[in-house]
Structure 1
Amino acid sequence: MVGTVRFPTGYRIEPLRKDHPRRAFCSGQPRVDDWFATAALQNQDKHLSATKVLTGADAAIAGFYTLATAQVDFSDLPAELTKRLPRRHLPVAVLAWFGVDERHQGEGLGARLLAQALRDCYDASQTFPVVAVILDCIDENAKTFYRRWDFRELPGHGNRLYLSWMQLEAMMSVG
């Protein structure tokens, strides 16, 4: 499902830089757009998260994703995920922010961006292991999008979804 991610001709993925036109980005989600414009670079500079942008031939930002790491308490994860794991805080990758500019929605770029974000999580997990990738959905449309990628709800957290390490590893081997 996620081998090498290919983007259409003219698009490229790169780390967020100061000269990227963040304020021109509009996903249609004010919270996402505001965070991207005002906090993404600061968080990256402080090594709290890493943001990658997808730019088109015109250098405009077509989409972005932000990854971070965290720990979650053993008791917050479902039993099928914690089987044979120690009863303590466990490491996870976090898809912290994600957006596609309105001008590019419906072109399949969101799926490719998510595939790249998951590829990055998988690659990083080869050095810094994680038990899952987690994310918080901003609304029901986002939840529907992620569920198509087999993300599941964390028990007791309706808008927090997870993808287990085993699911991620299986995705990476099909590819």
Structure 2
Amino acid sequence: MPITEFVPLDPKAVNVKSFDCGKEPINAYLRRYAAKNMALNLNRTFVLPYALDANTPRENSEKSHVAAYYTLAHQTLIREELPDPSRLPRYPVPVILLAQLGIDQRFHRQGLGAKTLAHALRYAYQIASNPKGIPAMGVVLDVLDQDALAFYHSFDFFLPLTDNPMKLFVPIASLESL
């Protein structure tokens, strides 16, 4: 199953219905909402497509399948929500929301979660640090469950965003070395 590179979601080119990460909210988002939200210019979803090998029955042979995906969007936060608000203005500040991240079960425990997260954070950094991009103070994650929280905590750069342990933050400046 050769895996290519992350590309913007094109539902005409990939079979999103075959994606199953084992978490229904993550599956449902890709299958039902990702393309619609992109069409409305609300966010961007990127997929890592792969082709089935010759021995696997194909339900949609012309389409690739999704090994992993992530969705980025913009959001604003009030300064008191951020870990170090002292230098910030009193109005909401921009951040990038890592809204979704999922790995198909066929690729669990193969390092693809870390690769997908790294790609998402690098892209967020490019968006925020590019003079022609959209500035952002950092990346925010709303963590789905305890399994996802353990995954994100395995990386040392996430900070708690609020008193809610399921909201994490990483400053844009700390992503430069990724």
What interval of TM-score do these two structures reach, taking the shorter chain for normalisation? 0.7 to 0.9
**2:59 aligned with 1:91, yes or no?**
no
1:53 deviates by 0.3
Q: Which one-letter code corresponds to 2:168 in the other structure?
A: L
Query: Do 1:12 and 1:56's aligned partners in 2 also have CA atoms closer than 8 Å?
Result: no
Q: SS where residue 36 of structure 2 aligns?
A: helix
1:14 deviates by 0.8
1:22 deviates by 0.7
When normalised by structure 2's length, the TM-score is 0.86
1:87 deviates by 1.5
When normalised by structure 1's length, the TM-score is 0.87
Q: Structure 2: where are the runs of 5+ without partners?
A: 53-63
1:155 deviates by 2.2
**Structure 1 vs Structure 2: percent identity of aligned residues?**
32
Q: Report what 2:163 is aligned to.
A: 156
CA distance in structure 1 between the aligned counterparts of 2:3 and 2:139, rounded to whole angstroms: 29
Q: Report what 2:56 is aligned to.
A: none
**2:13 aligned with 1:26, yes or no?**
no
> For residues 28-79 of structure 1, what are the alpha-carbon distances to aligned partners after superposition, in whole Å with 9 as ceiling and x for unaligned?
000110111000000011000100000123322101000000100111112x
**Aligned counterpart for 2:136 among listed residues 130, 144, 169:** 130
Give the ranges of 4+ consecutive aligned residues of structure 1 lying more than 3 Å apart after TM superposition: none
1:100 deviates by 0.1
CA distance in structure 1 between the aligned counterparts of 2:137 and 2:99, rounded to whole angstroms: 16
Q: Report what 2:37 is aligned to.
A: 43
Query: Do 2:3 and 2:48's aligned partners in 1 also have CA atoms closer than 8 Å?
Result: no
Q: Which one-letter code corresponds to 1:146 in the other structure?
A: Y
**2:7 aligned with 1:14, yes or no?**
yes
1:129 deviates by 1.1
**2:152 aligned with 1:146, yes or no?**
yes
Query: Do 2:98 and 2:140's aligned partners in 1 also have CA atoms closer than 8 Å?
Result: yes
Higher relative contact order (CA 8 A, sep 6+): 1
Root mean square deviation of aligned Cα: 1.5
Q: SS where residue 87 of structure 2 aligns?
A: coil
**2:98 aligned with 1:105, yes or no?**
no
Q: How many residue pairs get matched?
A: 162
Q: Which one-letter code corresponds to 1:16 in the other structure?
A: L
Structure (1 or 2) with the larger CA radius of gyration: 2
**Aligned counterpart for 2:118 among listed residues 111, 115, 119:** 115
Query: Do 1:27 and 1:101's aligned partners in 2 also have CA atoms closer than 8 Å?
Result: yes
Query: Do 1:134 and 1:162's aligned partners in 2 also have CA atoms closer than 8 Å?
Result: yes
Q: Report what 1:5 is aligned to.
A: none
Q: Structure 1: where are the runs of 5+ without partners?
A: 1-7
